[in-house]
Amino acid sequence: MELRQLRYFVTVVEEANFTRAAARLHLAQPGLSAQIRQLERELGQQLLDRGGRTITLTEAGAAVLPLAREAIAATERIASTVDEFTGLLRGHVRVGLISGAASEELDMAGVLADFHDDHPQVGISLTEDTSERMLAAVRSGELDIALVGLTGAPLDSGIGVDIVLDVPVVAAVAAHDRAHGKKTTLAALRDQPLICLPRGTGVRGVLEQACATAGFTPNIAFEGAAPPLLLQLAARGLGIAVVPALTDEEAAAFGVRAIPFTDVELRGRLALAWRTDRPAAPAAKVLLGQLRIAMANKH
């Protein structure tokens, strides 16, 4: 029995499919199937039921699965301990980022590049997604670190957060719009076409929760992945954009006016999120520390 066979077995169980597992492991499917069958022969028991549309565990497989995961985790802890002792960082760090967050103010690319220069043995992957999906990925262990937008809803007790940006959320209308004054209320948006980030993002969650408290559902006419597109749509008179606060210069550059809310305080909060209920790999721990320092220096 080899450790890699246990890894293959766990991956097939997690994917419930040999094709997906092979793609995830960067193996040919026949080779993966052969390795699993060899493991079953060595153990003298069938671990997987291949009869249905998805792969399921046999009774023996269900008993072996937690032990296989423990063996893999123990091996990773041994490697991490040796790496810490020698001062060498290795492995792979998976980072998530909300769309449109990378900017001069939040220079994620710069931090990752500096980390790579300091620790060339560490692989880094970066993905963009909604905050909701990335928080779920942090919970499941698919991501080590994520920069997410917070809605104000309670977070899983096993997730730690460090808020790196906290700004008001405002309404934005076309600069030539005279139908709206210098201030507005959430209630005034009840029947208005709104322009907002997609579901699963922090600002969208903040807006929907506030509207639910006020007793109505917002009329989202347009969605965009990042605030610049929302502002461009608002500038053309297609609706009212709900976005993080703008400076006068930013508003003028996009051709909009920013209007604060007087009846509610909506906040746009960006935060680094990570698992706190289990030890992080040394590489992820170091990168998280560098991200927290870099972003603290910005604010």
Q: Is 256 left (phi over 0), alpha (psi -120 to 50) or beta?
A: beta
Q: What percent of the chain has pLDDT over 90?
A: 51
The answer to whether residues 241 and 224 touch, using CB atoms and an 8 Å cutoff, is no
pTM across the whole model? 0.67
Tens of pLDDT, residues 244-293:
999 999 999 999 999 999 989 899 999 999 999 887 788 898 899 889 88
d(CA 204, CA 151): 8
How would residue 105 be classed by pLDDT, with cut points 50, 70 and 90? low
pLDDT tens figures, 119-152: 888 899 999 888 999 999 998 889 999 999 998 8
Average pLDDT of 67-96?
75
- The whole-angstrom separation of Cα 257 and Cα 170 is 10
Cβ atoms of residues 118 and 287 within 8 Å: no
Q: Distance between CA atoms of 85 and 109, rounded to whole angstroms?
A: 29
CB atoms within 10 A of CB 42: 11
- The pLDDT value recorded for residue 88 is 53
What is the pLDDT at residue 226?
86
Strands 159-174 and 220-223: unpaired
> And the tokens for 9?
């077995």
pLDDT, tens only, 39-62: 999 999 999 998 877 888 999 999
* Cα–Cα distance measured from residue 291 to residue 296, given in angstroms and rounded to the nearest whole number: 8
Q: Which domains does the chain have, with CATH numbers?
A: 3-86 (1.10.10.10), 89-299 (3.40.190.290)
What is the predicted pLDDT for the residue at 298? Answer: 52
